[in-house]
Chain A
Amino acid sequence: MVNGKRTLIIIPALNESGSIADVVGEVRGELPGVDVLVVDDGSTDRTAAVAAAAGAKVAKLPYNLGVGGAMRLGYRYARDHDYDVAIQIDADGQHDPRYVPKLVDLLDDNDLVIGARFAGEGDYNVRGPRRWAMVMLSAVLSRVAHTKLTDTTSGFRAANRRVIEMFAGWYPAEYLGDTVETLVHTARRGYRIRQVPVAMRKRMAGTPSHSPAKAMVYLGRAFAVLTLALIRR
């Protein structure tokens, strides 16, 4: 329970055995009474076992579906088990669970709340094509959603019942679709989106999924995904 709402924390994880125990432990420590679902997306290490030992419920996918695939499973779980709020958190420890009550508070007047870097709190720097991509995405998505969005690819978001219901039936598995396209889709259907500034921490262990060399490709794909999301209905 967070502010009287049944809350499920969904953590998509791929080979995060180094950090997942701490993340689950911290969430359960900071937020007593919430349930934690770790979606192990075909990890080749002991992510699932470590997460279960730390007290999380674990759903183990037989092979890798990507963050989007893992998240739809999470939202289906939330819908089937009648949760009021579902919150996505990264498995690498970058998201601070102490912000969760703030996100949940804002769900009173909004349907989807995003924990955003670059919005004043903490320091998190990105440069080059990756930064251009983020600027482009923020500008366009802010217009579509009628609210200021500075960190559109954030994996820290809270959804209320209506959005859980929608995401359980529809959630893209394509690259960047899980963040960019879901925002366009949600905004177009009249749901209210808001962002909250959060400080972002360093990942605890393991390697990030992006390398600087991929930044340019990232920009191109971001542009393609955004264009597609905008022409889709």
Chain B
Amino acid sequence: MKLTLVTGLTGLLLLGTIVELLRRRQLREKYGMLWLAVLIIVIPLSLFPRLLDNVAELLGVASGVSLVLFLGIVFLLLVCVHLSWEVSALEEETRTLAEDFALLRAQIDADRAARDELVSTDG
């Protein structure tokens, strides 16, 4: 009973945190939705850990609890992979931005040099 209280409260606390972060626009929709979906699955499980016992038996896993642990680790791995993918995309984008910036600066410098040239030959 005590354990259920601890796990259930943790779940609710996480839920509250994510909703609040979303409300303050600190989390983009796509990430927020992901975490909300996770919690909607996790909270019932934290209150009733035996919920998955049947499924576990079907898969040959000793108990529902270890099945949840296994699935949890797989999920976290997937999230890590996803984040690495996002970071790679971001790196590619900053690289493009830096190039654009350098090209613009080169263009501006060339324009300025051409103008100075004009002024000095005029004067």
- Listed in ascending order, the chain B residues whose CB lies under 8 Å from chain A are 19, 22-25, 28-30, 32-33, 93, 96-97, 100
Inter-chain CA distance A63–B90, complex, in Å, is 11
- Neighbour of B30 across the interface among A63, A174, A233, CB < 8 A: A174
Q: How large is the interface on A (under 10, 10 to 19, 20 to 34, 35 or more residues)?
A: 10 to 19
| Interface status of A115 (Cβ within 8 A of chain B) | no
Residues of the A chain whose Cβ atoms lie less than 8 Å from the Cβ of B24: 233
A126 interface residue (CB < 8 Å to B): no
Q: Please name all residues of chain B whose beta carbon is closer than 8 Å to the beta carbon of A174 when the two chains form the complex.
A: 28-30
Interface: A213 (CB within 8 A):
no
A232 and B96 CA atoms in complex are apart in Å by 33
A177 CB contacts on chain B under 8 angstroms: 29
**Contact for A63 among B23, B32, B93, CB less than 8 A:** B93
Instruction: Name the one of A63, A224, A233 contacting B29, with C-beta atoms under 8 angstroms.
Output: A224
Does any Cβ of B come within 8 Å of A4's Cβ? no
A225 to B32, CA, bound (A): 11
The distance from the CB of A75 to the nearest CB of chain B, in whole angstroms, is 18
* Residues of A near any B CB (own CB < 8 A): 62-63, 174-175, 177, 224-225, 228, 231-233
Given A174-B29, A177-B29; A233-B23 close (CB under 8 Å): yes
A40 to chain B, nearest CB (A): 13
**In whole Å, how far is B31's beta carbon from the nearest beta carbon of chain A?**
11
The CA of A93 and the CA of B100, in the complex, are separated in Å by 31
A182 to chain B, nearest CB (A): 13
A231 and B29 contact, Cβ closer than 8 Å, known pairs A62-B97, A63-B93? no
- Give the residue name and chain of the A residue nearest to B100 (CB): A62
Q: Contact between B32 and A228 (Cβ–Cβ < 8 Å)?
A: yes
Interface CB pairs A-B, < 8 A, 25: A62-B93, A62-B96, A62-B97, A62-B100, A63-B93, A63-B96, A174-B28, A174-B29, A174-B30, A175-B29, A177-B29, A224-B29, A224-B33, A225-B29, A228-B22, A228-B29, A228-B32, A231-B19, A231-B22, A231-B23, A232-B22, A232-B23, A232-B25, A233-B23, A233-B24
List 8 tightest A-B contacts by C-beta distance, closest first: A174-B29, A62-B96, A62-B100, A232-B23, A231-B23, A63-B96, A63-B93, A224-B33
What is the CA–CA distance of A233 and B97 in the complex, to the nearest angstrom?
Answer: 32
Closest Cβ of chain A: how far from B74's Cβ, in Å? 24
Closest to B22 in A: A228
Q: For the complex, what is the distance from the CA of A231 to the CA of B23, rounded to whole Å? A: 6
